[in-house]
Amino acid sequence: MSIKEKVKRQIDEMDDQIKVWEAKMDSAKAEAKAEYKEKLAVLKAKRNDVKARFEELADAAEDKWEESKDVFASASDSFKEGFNKLKSLFG
């Protein structure tokens, strides 16, 4: 699997995780919704960063993807960290 395919798969997984938490937020008590919204906004921003980088390189050669691998890994790790914080608060 190419780096481009891996990144696309990660973005799709991020989208899926955000949808799950949005559904949980909808069923949360009113006082928890504000915190859900705040934490989800952080996750969405991190996901949007990865998506923007992905789109910048969409038509790039594989060597450019290889050069960007660490940047995507760092962004993905940041998303996972935010996701885990949300999960620990509301899991």
Q: What is the pLDDT of residue 48?
A: 92
Contact 50, 9 (CB under 8 A): no
Q: Give the integer Cα–Cα distance in Å for 47 and 11.
A: 7
Token pair for residue 28?
């949360």
- Domain positions in the chain: 3-90
Please give the pLDDT value at position 69.
Answer: 82
pLDDT at 90: 74
Kindly give the parts of the chain with pLDDT less than 70: 91
- Residue 85 phi, psi (nearest 5): -65, -45
**What pLDDT is stored for residue 44 in this prediction?**
92
Supply the Cα-derived Rg of the chain in whole angstroms: 15
pLDDT in tens, 55-77: 888 888 888 888 888 888 888 88
pLDDT score recorded for residue 12: 94
The pLDDT of residue 39: 86
